[in-house]
Structure 1
Amino acid sequence: MSKADPRVVAAVMSQIDAALGESARRPVVIGLCGAQGSGKTTLARAVLASCTGKGLRAAALSIDDIYLTRAERAELARSVHPLLATRGVPGTHDVGLGLRVMDALERGEAARLPRFDKARDDRAAMSEWPSAPEACEVLIFEGWCVGAAPQREEDLAAPVNGLEEREDADGRWRRYVNAAMAGRYASLFARLDRLVLIAAPDFAVVYAWRLEQERDLARSAPSGGALMDEAGISRFISHYERLTRHILQEMPARADLVILLDEQRRPVCIESGQSA
Structure 2
Amino acid sequence: MAREALDAVDGLVRRALAERDDRLLVVGLCGAQGSGKSTLAAGLQARLVRDGIPAAILSIDDLYRTRAERTALANAVHPLLRTRGVPGTHDVDLGLRVIEALERGEAALLPRFDKAADDRLPEARWERAAAGTRLLLLEGWCVGARPQQAAALAAPVNALERDEDPDGIWRAYVNHALAGEYQALFGRLDRLALLAAPGFAIVRRWRTQQEHDLRGVTSGGMSDAQVARFIQHYERLTRHILHEMPDRADLTIALDEGRRVTAIDGEGRTG
What's the TM-score, normalizing by structure 1? 0.94
Aligned 8 A contact 2:153 2:168 in 1: yes
- Residues 117-132 of structure 1 aligned to structure 2 (within 5 Å): 117-132=114-129
Match in the other structure for 2:231: 237
- Select which of 87, 90, 115 maps to 1:90: 87
Q: Which runs of 5+ in 1 are unaligned?
A: none
Structure 1 counterpart SS, 2:127: coil
Deviation for aligned residue 1:19: 1.6
Deviation for aligned residue 1:243: 0.1
- Select which of 241, 255, 259 maps to 2:253: 259
Deviation for aligned residue 1:204: 0.3
Which 4+ runs in 1 deviate beyond 3 A? none
Structure 2 counterpart SS, 1:131: strand
2:43 is the alignment partner of 1:46? yes
Take 1:10 and 1:118, find their aligned partners in 2: how far apart are those partners? 30
Kindly provide the amino acid, as one letter, of the partner of residue 203 in structure 1.
F
Match in the other structure for 2:266: 272
Deviation for aligned residue 1:124: 1.2
Aligned 8 A contact 2:12 2:267 in 1: no
Match in the other structure for 2:205: 208
Deviation for aligned residue 1:186: 0.1
- Cα distance per residue 1:123-168 (max 9 Å; x no partner): 1121111111110000111000000000001101100000000011
Identity %: 59
Deviation for aligned residue 1:102: 0.6
Take 1:114 and 1:32, find their aligned partners in 2: how far apart are those partners? 18
Take 1:261 and 1:152, find their aligned partners in 2: how far apart are those partners? 27
Structure 2 counterpart SS, 1:252: coil
Deviation for aligned residue 1:7: 1.3
- Cα distance per residue 1:165-190 (max 9 Å; x no partner): 00111111000000001000000000
2:14 is the alignment partner of 1:17? yes
Deviation for aligned residue 1:273: 6.3
Deviation for aligned residue 1:25: 6.9
Give the count of matched residue pairs.
268
Q: 1:67 to 1:155 in 2, by over 3 A?
A: same
Match in the other structure for 2:141: 144
Match in the other structure for 2:155: 158
- Cα distance per residue 1:175-208 (max 9 Å; x no partner): 0000001000000000111100000001000001
Structure 1 counterpart SS, 2:128: coil
Deviation for aligned residue 1:120: 0.9
Match in the other structure for 1:246: 240
- Select which of 29, 51, 62 maps to 2:59: 62
Take 1:104 and 1:208, find their aligned partners in 2: how far apart are those partners? 38
